[in-house]
Structure 1
């Protein structure tokens, strides 16, 4: 068993244990492998172990990996801050975008998504605990954004993404409450099914609160080398 297989098995077991402790079906929690700064060879190895969903934060790095791994059927998620001048690549190349926090960004993604493609899955990023250092809209802005974004032609609005401050576990519960409140205002409530929250250090609390996607990087790939 190589290091990636062992790491992935441990993360999956961790998720299953966290689900069991709160009587959730593990099938309702999806593992997103956060692969930023890690080489495309590592993604290929992880793919061969059964991991097909990968999250990237940096656009050019992601595009390079897409080219190197174009023979694989990877589901690509962009989880970084979305800049207006980079929406075209996101709209055309990714399956999911987690960091939408303004209507103008959603509009650009919708307009730049190709007619031949299925609608782009997006999550609204919420600054759930008012951190100065974090992107995201404010909780009170979410309902209006949902009403507006739900009308866009080539967008499938799936839910919320949050990155709480370390050890602020109440934020996960607050995010789930907001998610439930807003669902009644979604034009297509059957699509409103995703809470993207929880990372290597806090996935138990995220799952207990209702996370449906956990974003795991370090526990799968090891420490990141930002010097590259």
Structure 2
């Protein structure tokens, strides 16, 4: 029996009115890894816990594997940093490629986190709240019971897809991307592949529907718009709050 499971905290795209933004919680050996961290992350975890019957909260999270800095993937990091600092008494851990992490503080978090009237004139910085774990293409990085490999995707900002191993199994996560056959081939080594589907700069569902049946059988859809017609694609969508053994 697999010791790697996926809990779908959210499955929608950035504009969804029906679902939380796409976010995954992977569990192996009793520990959790988040793939991305949108707001409101603790509410998302609670709702998925209630629906699935599998409890999870931030105190059990080993790290966040961050794909990129678009807000629907990273807007919960401020809350994670504050909760970890003030409630858990520790720094939150973020695993990210250096190109993804480069503007995490100055371009995303500093406006809401650097000011502390108790420490003036010294401002807080990224290291006060977060421990950064650099990921690199071409090599796996161990984070607790997980091993994370990353690969760049086709997206307007630096973005990485992941292959994440734990408990003897592997999950592939496309992150946001245009359709990229080479990326699909890279992800196909995983036992379960979670791929986005959408419009514009995202992967058209019809391109995934044209993949070989054996590959489609281990694909699951995520990051989809509310009005995307998912039936007939031959690929099952993730359900928000769904619990999936790998």
Larger fraction in strand = 2
TM range (shorter): 0.3 to 0.5
TM-score (norm 2): 0.36
